[in-house]
Amino acid sequence: MLILENVDAHYGKAHVLHGVSIEVRAGEVVGLLGRNGVGKTTTLKAIMGMARRTGGRITFEGRDLQGVPPHGLAGRGIAWVPEERRIFRLLTVLENLRTGLDRPGITPARRDALLEKVYAYFPILRERRNQAGGTLSGGEQQMLAIARAMVLEPKIILLDEPTEGLMPRMVAQIQEIVHALHRDGVAILLVEQNVPLTLDAAGRVYIMEKGTVRHHASAAELRADQRVIHEYLGV
Amino acid sequence: MDQIIIQTLHGLVNGMVLAMVASGLTLIFGIMDIVNFAHGDLLMLGAFVGASVVGTTGNYWLALIVAAIVIAILGALLQITTLRPLIGRDPLTTILATFGISLVIQKYALWQWGPSVRQISEPVRGDFTLFHLQYPWYRIATAILAALIISGLWLFLKYGKYGIWIRATTQDRVMAQAMGIPVPLVYTGVFALGSAMAAASGVLFGPFAGVTQTMGFDFTVRAFVVVVVGGLGNLGGSILASIFISLLESYAAIVVSPAQAVIVSFVVLVLTMLFRPTGLFVPTPK
């Protein structure tokens, strides 16, 4: 469904991605592991058209994403949950969700159903719906960031380090949500530092180093033989 | 005492018109970081369009609506042709571009309508007596109408779908795009909305002092003072600052001549820049 072929990307003059090739099939959870600064986040930004792509091809459902404006990706079914969460801090929780709900072609009934759905997943967001996004705790902001992506009814969610800096209880909740999304048939490209979580949630895993993919295996293989993980991630 | 009450009323009326001008300016600055030096000239052009409509139809309210729509369309075209290509460039280039637009509009107005002052006759006639002084009802009506328009803008930004788009884009353009909000369209829309606000202010203010092709610059400067004093890009702050500064000018006019009273606003501007550069009417950042 989402295919990256030999993608090169630059930040200013820095050459960050060197020929990254990744594939995510419909409904699949794919992990992207690697140390800090190896280009995982940049890979997601390249998909979102936010990093300057200088080579290679990115296609989604067979269509090249080159030339698609950044605001056209949500409508095609690609949602992004950035590492920094990027909650609209001065907007209330409900208004944050409305940025994704108030889109053309959605019926009021569908809109309400989606809102109910994310409130069912994250009851705390219903409680805090009239509170400014910036006043939420880190874990609540992460939930809001995921909920905001969910209301777009995406085919794939690019999930960037969703458990970074969260308490263990919150990590477990995020893990539960990833499973739930998977059951709903949403594909996920999961960037993580948390190896056990990634091996648990993902079907396949790519390991990146120095701006390129070094290793690709099923999560089951990696669980059985952790030497590769140790080699590239040092854990 | 009589004078203080009269000047308070005067300050409030002027403050409401200024608030309308400034809210358009601050909206544009807040979302696009564009310092629009042509804002006052869009106001002037709106006033001329309004004067022409009043001249041909005699209908003031129609003039208000036509001017707002015509200038909104012009604003949208200006944004698309001149400012959109400059997005992401040095802010100085947009300042120069809007300054250029300002000059073009002024010269066009001079060519089209000539140097003389055009009058817009007020739609609400009559005066009322306040402490032996005649105060025109039209000024009161203007203040109320300006307050209604500003409230409408506020409600739109607070509850409207496009209002949420505008606020989300103001806060985080990249994330707004990722949520599917068509940011280039939002930019054009906000510029059109700000231009319409300027044009409507021009038609509202027209009956006070007449319409001339040089009136725009004065409004640009005054609006900038309140936008900076109120806190750049902060709508509520700009509105409060408009009223605050207009009241100060009015009270100063009791002691010195009205032309000198304008100095007060620049003193406030300089003091704000020196001691509280984020603006007087913004909460202290936590």
pLDDT at residue B280 in the model: 82
Q: Looking at residue A53, which CATH number applies to its domain?
A: 3.40.50.300
Q: Which amino acid is at B273?
A: M
**ipTM higher than threshold 0.90:** yes
pLDDT at residue B286 in the model: 39
* B198-225: average pLDDT: 91
| Residue among B159, B165, B179 with most chain A CBs within 10 A, to mutate | B179
Domain count, chain A: 1
| Distance between CA atoms of residues B161 and B147, nearest Å | 22
> Is the model's pLDDT at B130 over the cut of 80?
no
Contact A82/B167, CB-based, under 8 Å? no
In this prediction the pTM is: 0.89
Distance from CA of A198 to the nearest CA of B (A): 24
| Residue among A71, A73, A101, A129 with most chain B CBs within 10 A, to mutate | A71
Distance from CA of A78 to the nearest CA of B (A): 9
What pairs with residue A8 in β-bridges?
A: A55
| Residue among A80, A88, A111, A152 with most chain B CBs within 10 A, to mutate | A88
Burial of B29 (0-12, 13-18, 19+ CB in 10 A): buried
| Distance between CA atoms of residues B16 and A129, nearest Å | 34
Chain B positions in Cβ-Cβ contact with residue A91 (cut-off 8 Å)? 164, 167-168, 171
Q: What is the dihedral sign for C-alpha A193, A198, A199, A202?
A: negative
Distance from CA of B232 to the nearest CA of A (A): 16
Q: What is the mean pLDDT of chain A?
A: 92
User: What proportion of chain A, given as a percentage, has pLDDT over 70?
Assistant: 100
Q: Please report which residue ranges of chain B form alpha helices under DSSP H.
A: 2-32, 39-57, 60-78, 91-113, 137-159, 161-171, 173-178, 183-209, 215-230, 235-255, 258-261, 263-275
Domain that holds residue A62: 2-233
| Residue of A178, A158, A196 whose CA lies nearest to A65 | A158
> Is the model's pLDDT at B38 over the cut of 70?
yes
> Is the model's pLDDT at B125 over the cut of 90?
no
* B154-167: average pLDDT: 93
